[in-house]
Structure 1
Amino acid sequence: MASDPVQAGASEGRRRRTVHLLWLRAVDGLGALGTIMIALLMAMICSDVFARNITGGSLPLVSELGALTLVMIVYLQLGTTVRNNRLARTEFFLALMENRSPRTAAFFSGLWELAGAAVCGAIAWSTYGILLKDIEHREFIGVTVVMTMQTWPFRVLILVGVAVAAIQFVVLAVRSFLKASGAGEHRP
């Protein structure tokens, strides 16, 4: 009977590590998808330049598809950017505070991350509304007779990317607040 709490604790720890690794892979997978989309965007632009030089005209859908792809790339890579602490922010203030009071610095960092979660959550909510409208009205890009493409697949990926970024901000905020309270000192 005495080993049951120990086994339960070990099982819970394995479960948490598994969820953590799955989360990391999902976030990094979206970032990798964004990188692939960068290569596709470059290929589209190069093809369009080549077509303009050869035929004197642009390829259909390149400007509209390029614009949606660019936005999609930003949001697909946002979660990885947040997780790796690569967002632009003023570190000078936090660095000074970190030397004097690490817990206070962690608290302010947590506030920053909560603000990021709120902004990304608002963007996700807005994107969800746009996605529903695109599906309901069957929105598309392009020229009707030449070539068209529905916009909802792009909106889904944008929504997933910004939602993952919002969740990643929350994860970091929780970690920062645990550190600020002193509870996170024993965690790796």
Structure 2
Amino acid sequence: MSESLPRPADDASVGASIASDAYNSPLPFGLHRLVSGMNALGTVWILALMVLINLDVFGRNLLGVPVRGVTELVSLSIVGIVFLQLGDTLRTGRFTRADILLDRLKHTRPMLTDALHALYHTIGLALMVVILLASWAPLVESVRIREYVGAIGDFQAPVWPVRLITLVGLSVTALCFGLLAWMDLRRLASRRNGERA
């Protein structure tokens, strides 16, 4: 928590260029390093899938021997990759939001922008918690019944690791939403104190 919030600039022209959100600041507790690492892991996973798909294509066309389980691994991997990279997408401000409205307001009504950001992040936190709670039972059931994709005797891959990655990604994203909301509220309080002074 050593990271400090950006201070409002004295010059109005310089202050207009400063974003009124938490996306340009590191997350507390070094969480930005964790989400960046998860994003990098997702990128490496994508590269591995590309290699696997190309090997399958070459194997089918040149040798007549396809790589078994490519379709199943790709379908599982897409879900895992999305949730691995979800937290970093939020941290860098690339989550879906009304940028046109917020970009206008942050220059004219920065306190309102902070309040809208805090509301957005709080709702996002609540949504992630709901999805997280709903995803717990499928993980437990997947482990219990030994759920897999593929066909017996050909290729089988367990489903529970991807479900676990989904829960980890949801947990980290929920934490990011909560910390961003907290940073927005701190920024809003700092602006209010500045105006009173």
TM-score band, normalised by the shorter chain? 0.7 to 0.9
Counterparts of 2:158 and 2:177, CA distance in 1: 31
- The match for 2:176 is 168
List, as ranges, runs of 4+ consecutive aligned residues in structure 1 with deviation greater than 6 Å: 183-186
- The match for 2:73 is 65
CA contact (8 A) 1:51 1:58 kept: yes
- The match for 1:181 is 189
1:35 and 2:43 are equivalent in the alignment: yes
CA contact (8 A) 2:2 2:28 kept: no
The amino acid of 1:169's aligned partner reads F
Cα RMSD between the aligned structures? 2.3
Percent pairwise identity: 31
Over 3 Å counting, the alpha-carbon distance change for 1:160 and 1:185 in structure 2 is farther
Q: Identify which of 100, 115, 133 aligns with 1:92.
A: 100
CA contact (8 A) 2:28 2:179 kept: no
CA contact (8 A) 1:120 1:165 kept: yes
User: Secondary structure of 1:94's partner?
Assistant: helix
Q: For this pair of structures, how many residues does the alignment match?
A: 171
- The match for 1:135 is 143
- The match for 1:8 is none
Return the TM-score normalized by structure 2: 0.78
Counterparts of 1:91 and 1:70, CA distance in 2: 27
- The match for 1:112 is 120
Over 3 Å counting, the alpha-carbon distance change for 1:21 and 1:114 in structure 2 is closer
Counterparts of 1:177 and 1:58, CA distance in 2: 55
Q: CA deviation at 1:60?
A: 2.0
Over 3 Å counting, the alpha-carbon distance change for 1:52 and 1:185 in structure 2 is farther
Return the TM-score normalized by structure 1: 0.81
- The match for 2:167 is 159
Show CA shifts across 1:121-145 (max 9, x none).
2222222221111001110111111
CA contact (8 A) 1:31 1:77 kept: yes
Show CA shifts across 1:115-172 (max 9, x none).
2222222222222221111001110111111121211111111211121011101110
- In structure 1, stretches of 5+ residues that fail to align are 1-11
